[in-house]
Copies of this chain bind each other. A is one copy, B any other.
Amino acid sequence: MSGLKRPLGLAVAQLGPIHLADTRAAVVKRLIALLREAHSRGARLVVFPELALTTFFPRYWMEDDEAIARFFELSMPGPETQPLFDLARELGIGFYLGYAELTGDGRRFNTSVLVDEAGGIVGRYRKIHLPGHADHKPQAPFQHLEKKYFEVGNEGFSVWPTMDTKIGMCICNDRRWPEAFRVMGLQSAEIVALGYNTPSHNIHWNEPTHLRMFHHLLSLQANAYQNALWIAAAAKCGAEDGFHMFGGSAIVAPTGEIVAQAQGEDDEVIFVNADLALGDSFRQNVFNFIKHRRPEHYRLIVDRVGAGEPLAAGELAKLASTFQQEG
Contact = CB atoms under 8 A, between A and B. Distances in A.
A156 B285 CA distance: 23
A294 interface: yes
A188 B219 contact: no
Number of copies: 2
A281 interface: yes
Interface residues of A, number: 90
B1 A297 contact: no
B215 A320 contact: no
A137 to B, nearest CB: 13
A307 interface: yes
Contacts of A312: 158
A69 interface: no
A9 to B, nearest CB: 22
3 closest Cβ pairs, A-B complex: A290-B306, A156-B316, A222-B222
16 contacts: A2-B206, A128-B294, A156-B316, A160-B310, A178-B222, A182-B300, A183-B298, A187-B309, A187-B311, A188-B309, A289-B304, A291-B306, A293-B306, A295-B301, A301-B301, A302-B323
Interface of A: 1-2, 123-124, 128-131, 152-161, 166, 173, 176-180, 182-183, 185-189, 202, 204-207, 211, 214-215, 218-219, 221-223, 225-226, 255-257, 281, 283-295, 297-314, 316-317, 319-320, 323, 325-327
